[in-house]
Amino acid sequence: RFAEAMGTFEKTDRIDAAVIADYASIKQIVPTVPPSAAQQRLKALVSRLSQVSGDITVNKQRKSATTDAETLASLSTVLACLKREEKRLAGEVASL
């Protein structure tokens, strides 16, 4: 759309290169530094911690919605596992 707005309707490699260069100069695009391995790891851990925390909430709601003994036992087992994982992930995040 930028090329059309600038009045360029043809499409060749030379024209495309010029349009891209114009766009970059107008927008003053600054190259970004890719995240480091540590930043990527932290992001992944925080994302996973959020997922596990959400799973804990969902399973607590499921547990409160049932009275079946086997289902309650199963949900308790799953919740215990999720809570251990949440604690482990929180520790890893805190150590970074």
pLDDT in tens, 7-39: 777 777 888 888 888 888 888 878 889 999 999
Domain that holds residue 9: 1-31
**Which alpha helices (DSSP H) does the chain contain, by range?**
2-5, 13-27, 37-64, 69-95
53: tokens are 């925390």
Residues 88 and 41 in one domain: yes
CB 75 within 8 A of CB 62: yes
pTM: 0.70
Residues 26 and 54 in one domain: no
Residues 50 and 87 in one domain: yes
pLDDT in tens, 37-78: 999 999 999 999 999 999 999 999 999 999 999 999 999 999
